[in-house]
Amino acid sequence: MFIKFDTIEELKRSVYMWMLPIITIALVINSVLNTLSQFDAIINFTLIFWFSVSWFLAYLNRGIRFGEYSNLLLVSIYHVLTLFDVVYNDLATTGGSLGDFIVWMPLIIMFFFLVLGTKRGMYFSIFIFLITLIIAVFYSGQMTPESIDSLTQFHAANIVYILVLFYAQNMFRAFTERNFFKMHAYIDSLTRVANRHQIDVWLEGKLEAAEEESKPFSIIFFDIDHFKKVNDVYGHKIGDCVLKELSAIVSANLTDGDLFGRWGGEEFILISNSTGGHAYEKAEHFRKMVENHYFKGAGSLTASFGVTDYQQGDNIDSLLNRADKGLYVSKNSGRNKVSVN
């Protein structure tokens, strides 16, 4: 089951809620199962304590930003001091490799990016990388080839992780922006239903299916009666609210296969798999629904409908012209009616 997060802050809070206990448990196990130096014991205890406090802050959903930056400081200090300790007390003295220290390095860099964002995260990661590189270079003359190789692999991997995270976040942003603009290219900004562009795409698809697969359909064209009067009397803000309310009413009562959108102004279109009498009944159902609804700020309103079925050889223009003529008949015969053409 996927959880939808409305903001990046909610996503980060969820990450911290899951991540901090796992890291804390790993630190506790490390402290219990290994004989630690006084330095390592102090580092572990500090991290265990502060990660626990940070988790509690995330749980309460308070002071999360403070927890982020304080953890950023602690993790950065831990990263640099631990590397220095390993280099100074182990690699430059007895030789060997970095061991399990390297395991947490990708997560540390990810945390930098998570807290600081893409650009600042990259700059900060490079800053920490340079500090650790200076330490490695300074003590390289006292190391065995195995130790030098281990540090070289560590720093090479460090750079790769930084670059991968930087470009991955940029790619994610590019895809997100593309999907955002794509979505808004097909969605009416006021009513949040399909716009004319999307309706054209739908109609082309329906026409193709009707011609090649003999799948009939109908379109129901309708608009709000005397909508100009609503704007003149109550103002355009109320008029916009009426359009949004009507869109919500229709959207909430669509059946399988129905496609609904705003054609423009107060005009809407419904593309349905229902045809003939069933299409008429569907239009009549929505007509009554509008008639019986009380619109906030504008009161009772009505709508007129024009209905037409697909006919062999139709294109978008011919379909819409017939539906528009049906709507015109409804308007000129007293409004608040459904006419089939």
Q: pLDDT at residue 127 above 90? A: yes
Q: Grade residue 13 by pLDDT with cuts at 50, 70 and 90.
A: confident
Picking from 41-45, 64-68, 251-255, which range would have the lowest pLDDT averaged per residue? 41-45
pLDDT score for 181: 64
> What is the C-alpha to C-alpha distance for residues 235 and 30, in angstroms, rounded to an integer?
68
> What is the C-alpha to C-alpha distance for residues 285 and 249, in angstroms, rounded to an integer?
12
Which residue has better confidence, 216 or 189? 216
Q: Grade residue 36 by pLDDT with cuts at 50, 70 and 90.
A: confident
3-class secondary structure, 192 = coil
Tell me the per-residue pLDDT of 307-339, one tens digit each, with 9 for 90 and over. Answer: 999 999 899 999 999 999 999 999 999 999 999
Question: What is the pTM (predicted TM-score) of this model?
Answer: 0.55
Tell me the per-residue pLDDT of 258-309, one tens digit each, with 9 for 90 and over. Answer: 999 999 899 999 999 999 999 999 999 999 999 999 999 999 999 999 999 9
pLDDT score for 95: 75
- Reference 67, options 75, 81, 57; nearest CA is 57
- Reference 337, options 306, 298, 308; nearest CA is 306
Q: pLDDT at residue 225 above 90? A: yes
Distances (CA, A) of 30 to 25, 34, 44, 91, 212: 9, 6, 8, 21, 67
Mean pLDDT to the nearest integer, 32-44: 80
3-class secondary structure, 285 = helix
3-class secondary structure, 258 = coil
> What is the C-alpha to C-alpha distance for residues 288 and 158, in angstroms, rounded to an integer?
66
> What is the C-alpha to C-alpha distance for residues 207 and 210, in angstroms, rounded to an integer?
5
Count CB neighbours of 141 within 10 A: 8
